[in-house]
Structure 1
């Protein structure tokens, strides 16, 4: 297939969407597909227009100034698509660049697929713009309903969006690199740097922003310390709340952004993973923690609802029940020396989430979308004749 792949975010930006997009593009190219990547250029990057990549203008995203959104006229993309003739346009993000690509593709009657990856309508509530939530939700519904197929990561999200009027949804899941994220990367040197001793070490990985609810994980840590004063809390990541959280929770260890093997070592060297976000469509970090052999404490949503078995590979709290979340963290942390079976179950859960299966399924569904569109076009032509 010849695929135009449109995304507002791409490495070196560090977030779940960017890393998943990079992996997907690499998979498609390795399997013989021609992929033209269309994305905004990032700070320090030169403009580029080649057969395989177009870097458009961009600007910082409001409330997320370290991330960018793409800017391009639909006419510009239409002329490119007329020249390159992709068989399908896949849109990973719903920003201005994604909208321009959608309009250009529809003007040329090219099939379009999309990803629903981020609950942007929920984010507005965390930044004092709750009144915008229905407006953003309506925008997302109109955007995705103009595509032939929208990919979602979980069955629960499919059901939620279907009830809200979204159409033609397809569950493809998410995977995890179980070679990179593995209990075998546990580092005694790293634990010594943390002053961990025998633990327990609690871990959070992710953006330090309002919608991630990070303060709840830190409150849970403070509760754990009441009976386990030797406990440690390691916070991996950065974001607008970092300075405030460091001030409010001086006993936690904030280590900033970690990548690659360093990140994998941080996971494997901890004893328990806390993920208090309620705004995720998935949450790749949950699978990374499970792959590293960490019991997970999370709300019963997104990836945790799909991959964590309560009291088997972690503990799940009812969504929004902060007391239950804290109680679950305390329960596992206070018995961390007796959780060998839970750690094994966590690793086993991650081993069932194969990136190969996920990406092969995605590839197959793209091909099906192209075939269905070609059939519809032929039928329309025959009817017109």
Structure 2
């Protein structure tokens, strides 16, 4: 390789990441951003994080790698803050210490002020489409705002040099809505954390399960946009189809719909939000994973369930469309077809060998979906946006 290419590869970037949410908050966006930030820093880049101050930030101050801004409570998401516009603060900071490129992960007032400041200073911007807010609006009784929100999101992302989307289905949907300059940045999974070996018989005993019983598990935020009414229908269909099998529904997560779900599913076990090793053990102690959501841009939990060796039931979109082969390492239903979803879940229980093979194939597939390649691709996309001369050739990132 020529010396100029060596210099390009070793050039560290000053990358600023703007987001409404970040670990230790529990959601797919925070998890993804935490992994990307950690990976970029491990590759020698300077990563500056701009986010709202959250409830657990008492005593935490801003420094060269962190800028905390004021926020408002986010409706429907207790404990999270919606970042306030901070354009003047960002202008002052970035005039003193100019980033090479911004990555704006959320499109609220904080993200908008970062976009405006970047345009004024001539800093390149890459944006990420992480959440289907335009679909969520109808779930929260704001359907009339959906068209306006879509218009705003299209304008916002079309102002950036590149918009990163996590799935092929999401890219096609946004292309139909005239979003421009879209590129795919998928997601990875920590297959050492999420591993079948984390299965705990003691936890299954707490759930009232014997060794031959099956735990039908769901992990995620308990909110209206997650289509959780289908949990009840699909679980009851499995029970009715195979009355000889002893099944238990396990729900991991929290959110505004939890109380209603507990009334609808009195026999289910609600475990609340889990994280880290505890979350990994909850996954691995299950057998079948039900994921009825229709509003995901990706769905990190699908990969986590696959890595944990579960039989995954999902709609054929986002992460499931990318990572599941129907009947091989999971089962799929056409989006919105609830009868097909229920039938797919029941099919997994038809023969013990069927579920065993699907679970083995799930683990094998997920074990190859690490974060390292995702971080490398993200780095290449940021380099390409901030300056053509810093962009890595594709061949430079091949093993």
Please give the range of the TM-score, normalised by the shorter of the 2 chains: over 0.9
* 1:86-122 Cα distance to aligned partner (Å, 9 max, x none): 1111111111110000000000011000100000000
Secondary structure of the corresponding residue to residue 235 of structure 1: strand
* Alignment check: 8 A CA contact 1:272 1:333 kept: no
Aligned residue among 172, 191, 215 for 2:185: 172
Shift of 1:178: 0.4
Q: Alignment partner for residue 355 of structure 1, among 371, 374, 379? A: 371
How does 1:133-144 map onto structure 2 within 5 Å? 133-144=146-157
Q: How far 1:62 sits from its partner (Å)?
A: 2.1
Contact 1:278 1:319 in 2 (8 A): yes
Deviation at 1:336, TM superposition (A): 4.2
Aligned to 2:230: 216
The superposition leaves residues 63-102 of structure 1 with CA deviations (integer Å, 9 ceiling, x where unpaired) of 3233221113312211111011111111111111100000
Contact residue 35 and residue 371 of structure 2 kept, 8 A: no
CA 317–163 in structure 1, closer or farther in 2 if over 3 Å, else same: same
Cα deviation, residue 4, structure 1:
1.1
The 3-state SS of whatever aligns with 1:63 is: coil
Q: 1:147 aligns with which of 160, 177, 180?
A: 160
Which secondary structure does the structure 1 equivalent of 2:387 belong to? Answer: helix
1:28 aligns with 2:44: no
Q: SS state of the match for residue 79, structure 2? A: strand
Matches within 5 A, 1:1-385: 1-46=13-58, 48-197=61-210, 198-226=212-240, 227-228=242-243, 230-336=246-352, 338-372=354-388
Check whether the contact 2:306–2:362 (CA below 8 A) recurs between aligned residues.
yes
Q: CA deviation at 1:188?
A: 1.1
Deviates more, 1:227-236 or 1:251-260: 227-236
Distance in 1 (CA, whole Å) between partners of 2:360 and 2:307 is 10
Following the alignment from structure 2 to structure 1, what is the Cα–Cα distance between the partners of residues 222 and 123? 39
**Gap runs ≥5 in structure 1:** 376-385
d(CA) in 2 for partners of 1:374, 1:290? 36
Query: Which stretch of structure 1 is more off in the superposition, 29-38 or 329-338?
Result: 329-338
Q: Secondary structure at the match of 1:280?
A: coil
Distance 1:123 1:373, change over 3 A: farther
CA shift at 1:337, angstroms?
Answer: 5.4
Cross-structure match for 2:4: none
Q: State the Cα RMSD in Å.
A: 1.5
Aligned length: 375
Q: Distance in 1 between matches of 2:148 and 2:237?
A: 39
Unaligned runs of 5+ in 2: 1-12, 392-399
SS in 1 for 2:67: strand
Q: Is the 8 A contact 1:153 1:172 kept in 2?
A: yes
3-state DSSP class of the match of 1:102? Answer: helix
3-state SS of paired residue (1:37): strand
- 1:338 Cα deviation after fit: 4.0
Deviation at 1:224, TM superposition (A): 1.7
Cα distance between partner residues in 1 of 2:276 and 2:381:
30
Indicate the residue corresponding to 2:7 in structure 1: none
Note the C-alpha offset of 1:334.
4.4
Q: Deviations over 1:232-279 (max 9, x none)?
A: 010000001111110111111111011111111111111100000000
TM-score (norm 2): 0.91
